[in-house]
Amino acid sequence: MKRLLLVLLAAPLAAPLAVSAQIASGEWEIKVSTALPGAPPVEQTLARCLTAEDSRNPGRLFGAPGPGCEFLNPRDDGKAYRFDILCRDQNVTVSGSGDMAYAPERIEGSLTVRTVAGTQTLDVRSRIAARRLGPCK
């Protein structure tokens, strides 16, 4: 369960950067707000340097989605990227979907996931906003 929770918290950071070669290389600021039922949103801000190679295949920065997890049904129309995610463990299933609108210097999107463990269900929604700050430092 802890492993799946870590994957879920990392997924919003990985997914928006895995969209297209149209994303510009450089230093990026990524803001993620994750909402759990009955709790205040958790805000996180990270900086990432995307090289030209990374911007063509940013998934290399983050590796695979995690043990027992996979990104499914990727759809990219040149302005928006959509995908599904599925994680399975012996006692836990996590499923959800994400969508990102992107331009060379901006990304905005969301990730919604449902975790089912036995009779318990937890819905989590993350909002992602990223912007290119300039050349890598």
Residues 15, 71 contacting (CB under 8 angstroms): yes
User: What are the residues facing 83 on neighbouring strands?
Assistant: 98
Tell me the pTM: 0.74
Q: Which residues lie closer than 8 Å to 2 by C-beta, 6 or more apart?
A: none
pLDDT level of residue 137 (50, 70, 90 thresholds): confident
Is 13 a residue whose pLDDT tops 70? no
Mean local confidence (pLDDT), 109-117: 94
Q: Which residues lie closer than 8 Å to 50 by C-beta, 6 or more apart?
A: 17, 23, 24, 25, 26, 28, 58, 61, 136
- Which one has a higher pLDDT value, 129 or 71? 129
Residues 9, 31 contacting (CB under 8 angstroms): no
Q: Which residues lie closer than 8 Å to 127 by C-beta, 6 or more apart?
A: 32, 33, 109, 110
**How many other C-beta atoms can be found within 10 angstroms of the C-beta atom of residue 64?**
11
pLDDT tens for 61-90 read: 444 567 888 888 888 887 888 889 999 988
Mean local confidence (pLDDT), 22-50: 91
State how far the Cα of 32 lies from the Cα of 47, in Å rounded to an integer. 12
